[in-house]
Amino acid sequence: MSASGPEETLRRKLLGLGFDSVGFARVSGPVRNGLEEWMAQGFHADMAWLERTAAKRRDSQLVLPGARSAILLGVNYWPGATAPTGADEPPGARRPFLARYAGYEDYHDTIKPALESAVRMVADCCGVGSDDSRYYVDTGPVWERGWAEKAGLGFLGKNGMLISRKFGNWMLLAVVLTRAELAPDVSTGDSAGPRIGRFCGKCTRCIDACPTRAFQAAGVIDARRCIAYQTIENKGSIPEELRPGIGTRVFGCDVCLEVCPWNRFARESRRLLLVAKPALKALSLREMLEMTPERFAEAFRRTPIKRLKLRGFLRNACVAAGNVIAADPVGDLIEPLRRLAAHPEPIVGEHARWAIGNIGGRKA
Task: Please indicate whether residue 138 is annotated as part of the active site.
Answer: yes
Residue 361's CB: how many other CB atoms inside 10 A? 9
Query: Helix/strand/coil (H, E, C) string of the chain?
Result: CCCCCHHHHHHHHHHHHCCCEEEEEECCCCCCCCHHHHHHCCCCCCCHHHHHCHHHHHCHHHCCCCCCEEEEEEEECCCCCCCCCCCCCCCCCCCCEECHHHHECCHHHHHHHHHHHHHHHHHHHHCCCHHHEEEECCCCCCCHHHHHHHCCCCEECCCCCEEECCCECCEEEEEEEECCCCCCCCCCCCCCCCCCCCCCCCCCHHHHHCCCCCEEECCEECHHHCHHHHHHHCCCCCCHHHHHHHCCEEECCCHHHHCCHHHHHCCCCCCCCCCECHHHHHCCHHHHHCCCHHHHHHHCCCCHHHHHHHHHHHHHHHHHHHCCCCCCCCHHHHHHHHHHHCCCCHHHHHHHHHHHHHHHHHHC
CA of 354: how far to CAs of 98, 225, 321, 329, 337, in Å? 21, 19, 10, 18, 10
Catalytic residue among 109, 138, 190, 208: 138
Query: Which amino acid is it at 315?
Result: R
115: left (phi over 0), alpha (psi -120 to 50) or beta: alpha
Q: Which residues are catalytic?
A: 138
